[in-house]
């Protein structure tokens, strides 16, 4: 069944415009609730709802709560909490599902709804399809005695903080480390600092005063220049930048150098190789730098690429029985620690790798040679399919032939807007620039 509302990470859009309207979100909660009622062996299923700090979170939370209650599903409200915190609490509280109200790294005027299963993983496609099918039929409300109830989980943040701390080896302390943390004015504003401080670190927090409108605004993982500046001004040993829902991480070292998800994934792979003696494989995405792939292969580690999106990385990890994967954007998965991507846990894992190896990030990535990568976005007309653009197809084939064995290209349509993403990697910046330019000119001719 083709997806009508669900994208790669739930339902997302601009608040007040379809589908992110109070009426639709109430129907979404009702449809999801009816699916849960049909599948659950409980008298009344229960879901956890968490959110980031967008002003629209209050509106959508109330709409979801009404929809679930009408379907006969109890609701537990967690308030502002990272996406991965919802996954953790859903699993440990033995609830039937978790729901996150967030648009991740998007501006405040966007929002979205994404679901987790009882196991703390993204919903399977067949469950999402079942929800979508019910969205096309009238909403139902059960009788008063069968309506769901709502309660608030007042210690949600504290429970999640303790979970994060528990992933650090017993006896390890961060005492003596000066860490700067950019909370993106998002869901981790009241959590990330406590985790690191209680582990002994000296912490400088920035972008930790959300007002409903400043989430991700020139801060966070998508604007690493902010944490870069804070690190240099405060003399921090390391800077950690989260995004709005705190499931991705970008790191800055004490010299201000930025490390993306590919580089961090390499550090984690090397730490596991050193500690366990073997890493069977790592999963990246179509956007992962070829330098990462070659560096892992030199260490005898298999590398496979999934489609863009952490859910696809997760699916491939499960298929192979591997634990480690991620995206260059900073989504990192380590299924031996958590069921989903987690920016705070990712930061902890990087710090653990540094302390155990007694090395800095430049030292830990010395064997990793990243290829210059160029990515350009091209606006297209609705319905444009690049595979049917003969000019672009021919240009891509020409570039692929010239880069064979020393680079690669990628052309893909955006899943959320009418954009064509054209990427090239090569051994030199000039080769990467020229490869992308050749394909761009072909789009103009063939579009």
CATH of the domain at 129: 3.40.120.10
pLDDT score for 445: 45
Whether the bond into 19 is cis, omega within 30 of 0 = yes
pLDDT exceeds 90 at position 2: no
Question: Is 73 part of a structural domain of the chain?
Answer: yes
Buried b (16+ CB within 10 A) or exposed e, 330-363: bbbbbbebbbbbbbbbbbbbbbbbbbeeeeebee
How many domains is the chain partitioned into structurally?
4
What would the mean pLDDT of 126-137 be, rounded to a whole number?
91
Residue 438 scores a pLDDT above 80: yes
Regarding whether 146 and 21 lie in a shared domain, the answer is yes
Rounded Cα distance between 104 and 166, Å, is 25
Largest CA distance in the chain: 70
Cβ atoms of 425 and 371 closer than 8 Å:
yes
For the stretch 88-119, pLDDT in tens is: 999 999 999 999 999 999 999 999 999 999 99
* pLDDT computed for residue 346 by the predictor: 98
Confirm whether 164 is domain-assigned.
Answer: no
Structure tokens at 198: 């209680």
- Residue 422 resides in a domain: yes
Joined tokens for residue 335: 């299924």
Distances (CA, A) of 427 to 156, 168, 287, 374, 404: 48, 38, 16, 12, 11
Domain range for 272:
260-364
Q: Pick from 390, 389, 428, 438: which is nearest to 406 by CA?
A: 428
Q: Which residue has the tokens 């040993």?
A: 237
In a domain, 36, yes or no: yes
**Cα torsion through 239, 247, 261, 161, rounded to 10:** 50
Shared domain for 144 and 90, answered yes or no, is yes
Of 56, 84, 104, 346, the active-site residue reads 104
Q: What is the pLDDT of residue 444?
A: 64
Token reading at 103: 């648009």
Name the pLDDT band for 133 (thresholds 50, 70, 90).
very high
d(CA 392, CA 420): 11
Find the mean pLDDT for residues 74-101.
Answer: 98
Does the pTM surpass 0.95? The reply is no
Confidence grade of residue 155 (pLDDT, cut at 50, 70, 90): very high
> Do 34 and 151 sit in the same domain of this protein?
yes
Please indicate, yes or no, if residue 167 is contained in any of the structural domains.
no
Last residue of a domain, one of 257, 287, 306: 257
179-193 pLDDT, tens digit per residue, is 999 999 999 999 999
Rounded Cα–Cα distance for residues 337 and 168 (Å): 10
Give the model's pLDDT for residue 415.
67
HSE-up of residue 393 (Cα within 13 Å, Cβ side): 6
The per-residue pLDDT for range 255-264, each reduced to its tens digit, is 999 999 999 9
Pairing of strands 110-117, 407-413: unpaired
Residues 108 and 125 in one domain: yes
Q: Is-catalytic flag, 104?
A: yes
**Do 264 and 250 reside in the same domain of the chain?**
no
For residue range 381-397, list pLDDT tens digits in order: 877 889 999 999 999 99
Q: Is 98 left (phi over 0), alpha (psi -120 to 50) or beta?
A: beta
Same domain, 393 and 340: no
Instruction: Note the helical H segments in 304-421.
Output: 310-320, 343-357, 361-364, 390-403
Question: Which strand ranges, in their side-by-side order, compose the sheet holding 373-379?
Answer: 373-379, 419-426, 407-413
| Domain assignment of residue 162, yes or no | no
Contact predicate 354/259, CB 8 Å = no
> Taking 50 as the threshold, does the pLDDT of residue 447 lie above it?
no
**35 and 83 inside one domain:** yes
Q: Residues 433-444: what's their mean pLDDT? A: 92
Do 17 and 132 have their domain in common?
yes
Which residue among 199, 232, 257 closes a domain?
257
241 vs 227: CA distance, rounded Å: 6
Indicate the pairing of strand 258-259 with strand 281-285: unpaired
Q: Where are the beta strands (DSSP E) in 268-394?
A: 281-285, 302-306, 324-326, 332-334, 373-379
Asked if 101 and 60 sit in the same domain, the reply is yes
Q: Spell out a b/e string for 283-298, using b for 16 or more CB atoms within 10 Å of the CB, else e.
A: bbbbbbbbbbbebbee
Give 17-49 pLDDT, tens digit per residue: 999 999 999 999 999 999 999 998 888 999 999
Q: Per-residue pLDDT averaged across 327-331, rounded?
A: 95
User: Residue 421: beta bridge partners?
Assistant: 377, 412
In a 13 Å sphere around the CA of 204, the CA atoms on its Cβ side amount to 17
Binned at pLDDT 50, 70 and 90, residue 309 comes out as confident
Residues 55 and 130 both lie in one domain: yes
Q: Which residue has the tokens 């920016």?
A: 343
Looking at 316, 331, 364, the residue that finishes a domain is 364
The two structure tokens encoding residue 317: 């990890």
- Cα–Cα distance list, 402 to 390, 392, 399, 435 (Å): 19, 15, 5, 9
Quick check: is 5 in a domain? Answer: no
22 and 132 together in one domain: yes
Q: Are residues 264 and 304 in the same domain?
A: yes
| Segment 324-336 mean pLDDT | 96
Mean pLDDT of 64-86: 98
Mean pLDDT value of segment 275-300: 95
pLDDT exceeds cutoff 70 at 446: no
The secondary structure of 202-218 as a DSSP string is EEEEES----SS-TTTT
Round to whole Å and give the CA distance between 363 and 259: 13
Q: What pLDDT does 334 receive?
A: 96
Identify the pLDDT of residue 293: 95
Burial classification of residue 94, based on how many CB atoms lie within 10 Å of its CB (0-12 exposed, 13-18 middle, 19 or more buried)? exposed
Task: Report the range of poorest mean pLDDT among 132-146, 333-347, 377-391.
Answer: 377-391
Alpha-carbon distance of 303 to 297, in angstroms, equals 7
């Amino acid at each position: 069944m083709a997806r009508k509302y669900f994208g790669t990470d739930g339902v997302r859009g601009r608040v007040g415009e379809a589908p992110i309207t109070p009426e639709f979100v109430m129907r979404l909660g009702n449809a999801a609730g009816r699916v849960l009622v049909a599948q659950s062996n409980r008298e009344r299923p229960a879901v956890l709802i968490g959110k980031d700090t967008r002003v629209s979170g209050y509106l959508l939370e109330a709409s979801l709560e009404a929809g679930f209650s009408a379907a006969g599903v109890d609701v537990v409200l967690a308030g502002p909490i990272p996406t991965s915190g919802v996954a953790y609490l859903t699993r440990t509280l033995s609830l039937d599902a978790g729901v996150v109200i967030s648009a991740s790294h998007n501006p405040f005027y966007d929002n979205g709804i994404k679901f987790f299963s009882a196991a703390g993983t993204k919903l399977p496609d067949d469950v999402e399809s079942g929800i979508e099918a019910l969205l096309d039929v009238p909403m139902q409300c059960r009788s008063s005695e069968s309506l769901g109830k709502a309660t608030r989980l007042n210690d949600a943040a504290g429970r999640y903080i303790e979970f994060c701390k528990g992933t650090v080896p017993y006896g390890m302390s961060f005492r003596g480390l000066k860490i700067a943390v950019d909370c993106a004015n998002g869901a981790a504003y009241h959590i990330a600092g406590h985790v690191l401080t209680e582990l002994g670190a000296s912490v400088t927090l920035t972008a930790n005063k959300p007002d409903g409108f400043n989430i991700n605004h020139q801060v966070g993982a998508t604007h690493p220049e902010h944490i870069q500046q804070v690190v240099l001004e405060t003399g921090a040993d390391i800077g950690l930048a989260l995004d709005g829902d705190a499931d991705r991480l970008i790191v800055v070292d004490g010299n201000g150098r930025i490390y993306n998800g590919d580089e961090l994934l390499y550090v984690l792979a090397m730490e596991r190789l050193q500690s366990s003696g073997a890493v069977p494989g790592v999963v990246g995405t179509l956007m992962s730098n070829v330098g990462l792939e070659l560096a892992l292969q030199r260490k005898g580690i298999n590398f496979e690429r999934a489609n863009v999106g952490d859910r696809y990385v997760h699916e491939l990890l499960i298929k192979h029985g591997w634990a480690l994967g991620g995206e260059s954007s900073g989504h990192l998965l380590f299924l031996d620690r958590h069921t989903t991507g987690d920016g705070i846990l990712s930061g902890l894992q990087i710090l653990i790798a540094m302390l155990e190896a007694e090395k800095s990030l430049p030292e830990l990535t010395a064997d990793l040679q990243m290829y210059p990568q160029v990515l350009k976005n091209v606006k297209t007309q609705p319905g444009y399919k690049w595979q049917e653009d003969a000019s672009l197809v021919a240009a891509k084939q020409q570039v692929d032939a010239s880069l064979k064995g020393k680079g690669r290209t990628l052309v893909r349509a955006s899943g959320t807007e009418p954009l064509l993403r054209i990427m090239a990697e090569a051994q030199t910046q000039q080769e990467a620039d020229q490869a992308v330019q050749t394909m761009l000119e072909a789009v103009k001719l063939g579009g």
